[in-house]
Chains A and B, each alone.
Chain A
Amino acid sequence: MPLRRKTAGAQRLKQAARSLGGFVVVTALTFIGLMAITFFIGRVIPIDPVLAVVGDRATQEQYDAARVAMGLDRPLVLQFVSYVGDVFQGNLGHSVSTNRPVAQDLARVFPATLEMATLGILIGVGLGVPCGTWAAARQGTWVDQLIRVFALLGYSVPAFWLGLVGLVVFYANLGWVAGPGRVDIFYEGLVEPRTGLMLVDAALASDWEVFWNALDHLILPAAILGFFSLAYIARMTRSFMLDTLGQEFITTARVKGVSEWRVIWVHGFRPIRVPLITVIGLSYAALLEGSVMIETVFSWPGIGNYLTVALLNADMNAVLGATLVIGAVFILINKLSDVLYRVLDPRSR
């Protein structure tokens, strides 16, 4: 018996190693596909990268020399290979509008969005999942109606309006939260940006004054983003839950005399974790793209803002760099969901 168990363990380890290997290969291939797409976009976009460098008063000879220097006369395959090489070395080119390397810009703007989106999705999941479950358990009652109306609001109210009204009410009138920006002006630059996440940096530096101020600034935009994802998550949770609560195994649990709380949260909730992960992953990815509206209203230096400014200035390197980062985030979140499926659903192992 112990011998058999050992071989079973070894087998499981081997299986895990094999699936990890497959996972790495698939992820790498997806990344290369993503880079092929951004590369392709860079070629078809009607902006001449050479012109952007030499200016429109350059002679034909200067133009040609610059074109050769940039390697644009080489075959496309070689250009792609050197592009991939550059990306892996963290070289995303130079931004025309900020006059800095794109990689540096992204390292500054992406954490700002990441911080807001993460807090937003935590609020969305933390409230949306219980609300949706509660609504399903009390289907047809006033609780259900109230939650559904609340969720419908999240679908129909425009983000910028909610942002402005939020600022007027909670910042200007009530003074409960701080205004636009990531921290108050006299706290700026006080902590060393190690991760770019203001809360984490302040905590690492043990500068709690900055920490609370940053949280004060963050909470309103994050809550508004959270409200939008809450609306979606609560609706989806409710519908998954209604479906599951109608299943036979729920009746089985009730026959056993299991308490209603356990019927809902153990027997009902466990099976819906897998579809919920898809919903949550997609919501999170959508938040990580950066909400241009919210970032504009709250003067938030995030990736949504950066990408919009870059697009308006025809700043190709910045656009491609930001697209690459957003694409990479999508891939990572999807892969993470896949891993979680396997952990949570015995049928997919």
Chain B
Amino acid sequence: MSPLLDVRNLRVSFPTPQGRAEVVKGLSFTLGRERLGIVGESGSGKSMTGRAILRLIRTPGRQEADRLAFDGIDLTTLSERRMRDLRGARISMIMQDPKFSLNPVMTVGAQIAEALLTHETLARRDVQARVIEMLHAVRINDPERVTGLYPHEVSGGMGQRIMIAMMLIPQPDLLIADEPTSALDVSVQAQVLDLIDELVRDKGMGLILISHDLQLVARYCDRILVMHAGQVVESCAAADLHKARHPYTRGLLAAVPRMEETRDELPVLDRSAWSGT
């Protein structure tokens, strides 16, 4: 059986006055119906990887890959029209901050319904029922009222649950979550992640969780890729994270404070320990 996602030698580059700068430099991984975490600092290329899978790198940016296949479909040669049929319907992405990623002048209900109607033809009544049902699934109380609200009228946590509802309503096979909780209060972060986790498990979807938070990724994922400067420096099972070998990963892990801290000072990443930068 072919894997859900097969990425080989993915490259993303942007033009600069000094020539093209590669932000993703030959990334390879395969993904089944499992939960993969991609961790890295800002600028490491993790978000660009997520967008490249959906082929959403806008010009003048450019993406190339030896192989980029989803469920046996070669995405590199797919027409834009066929690609659009996949987006949302089979591969979806939860964006970072609901304050900016929801259209400010469309009601929540209209935006969720649009995700559904882009891929399915349904009667108005059925659409409404599906939207309400989906809002129930993401634990929103009084969904009838919420469908009529505009994004500025809902809180951040609720906005992100609306985002999840919108991205899961066409029932995709692969969900990319790009820093889904970075813009949220700590108190609602766990709720939102538990919700994503539960829905993904229930539906047997593949998940790519992109985050800068090692602990969080370790908790919610089966496997972890650590990215640095556009490359994967470490790939391991989440349970084996403590056995990580690469100095960058070890440095990151060492910098995490513990519950019973004995060190007077947390170590700072020593960037001379690995080659490259």
Contact = CB atoms under 8 A, between A and B. Distances in A.
Grouping DSSP codes into helix (H, G, I), strand (E, B) and loop, the A interface class, with mixed when no group exceeds half, is: helix
Given A248-B101, A249-B104, A347-B104, A257 B95 contact: no
Contacts of A344: 105
A344 B150 CA distance: 12
Contact of B56 (A255, A270, A271, A345): A255
B105 A247 contact: no
Interface in B70-116: 84-89, 92-93, 95-97, 100-107, 114-115
A255 B95 contact: yes
B103 A255 contact: no
27 contacts: A247-B100, A249-B100, A249-B101, A249-B102, A251-B56, A251-B101, A252-B103, A252-B166, A254-B56, A254-B87, A255-B54, A255-B93, A255-B95, A256-B87, A256-B115, A256-B118, A257-B84, A257-B85, A257-B89, A257-B115, A257-B119, A259-B84, A267-B103, A267-B106, A270-B103, A346-B152, A347-B152
Contacts, number: 76
A344 B163 CA distance: 23
B48 to A, nearest CB: 12
Interface string B205-223: 0000000000000000000
Given A247-B100, A251-B95, A254-B54, 16 more contacts: A248-B101, A249-B103, A252-B95, A255-B88, A256-B87, A256-B167, A257-B84, A257-B86, A257-B87, A257-B88, A258-B84, A258-B114, A259-B84, A271-B103, A271-B105, A347-B152
Contact of A347 (B86, B150, B167): B150
Interface of B: 51, 54, 56, 84-89, 92-93, 95-97, 100-107, 114-115, 118-119, 150, 152, 163, 166-167
B118 A258 contact: yes
A257 B86 CA distance: 7
B166 A270 contact: no
B105 A346 contact: yes
A286 interface: no
Contacts of B96: 248
Contacts of B93: 255
Interface string A229-269: 00000000000000000011101111111110000000100
Contacts of A257: 84-89, 115, 118-119
Nearest to A245: B58
A275 to B, nearest CB: 12
Interface of A: 247-249, 251-259, 267, 270-271, 344-347
Contact of A248 (B87, B95, B106, B115): B95
Contacts of A255: 54, 56, 87-88, 92-93, 95, 167
A345 B150 CA distance: 10
Complex A-B, nearest 4 residue pairs according to Cβ-Cβ distance, in ascending order: A257-B88, A257-B87, A248-B100, A256-B88
A248 B104 contact: no
A38 to B, nearest CB: 39
Nearest to A268: B103
A247 B98 CA distance: 12
Given A249-B100, A255-B93, A256-B87, A345 B118 contact: no
A343 B152 CA distance: 16
A170 B59 CA distance: 43
A346 B149 CA distance: 9
A248 B96 CA distance: 9
B119 to A, nearest CB: 6
Instruction: From B89, B92, B118, name the one whose CB has the most chain A CB atoms within 10 angstroms.
Output: B118
Contacts of B105: 270-271, 344-347
A196 to B, nearest CB: 38
Given A257-B119, A346-B152, A347-B152, A252 B85 contact: no
A270 B106 contact: yes
Given A257-B84, A346-B152, A252 B118 contact: no
B168 to A, nearest CB: 11
Nearest to B81: A259
Nearest to A4: B145
A233 to B, nearest CB: 20
B105 to A, nearest CB: 5
Nearest to B89: A257
A256 B167 CA distance: 7
A344 B105 CA distance: 8
Contacts of B115: 256-257
> Which residue of A253, A254, A257, A271 has the most chain B CB atoms within 10 A of its CB atom?
A257
A347 B119 CA distance: 30
B114 to A, nearest CB: 7
Q: Which of B103, B118, B119 has the most CB of A within 10 A?
A: B103
> A249, A259, A347 — which one has the most chain B CB atoms within 10 A of its CB?
A249
A253 B93 CA distance: 11
A105 B107 CA distance: 50
A248 B51 CA distance: 12
A251 B84 CA distance: 13
Most B CB atoms within 10 A — which of A249, A253, A256, A345? A256
B178 to A, nearest CB: 10
A257 B93 CA distance: 11
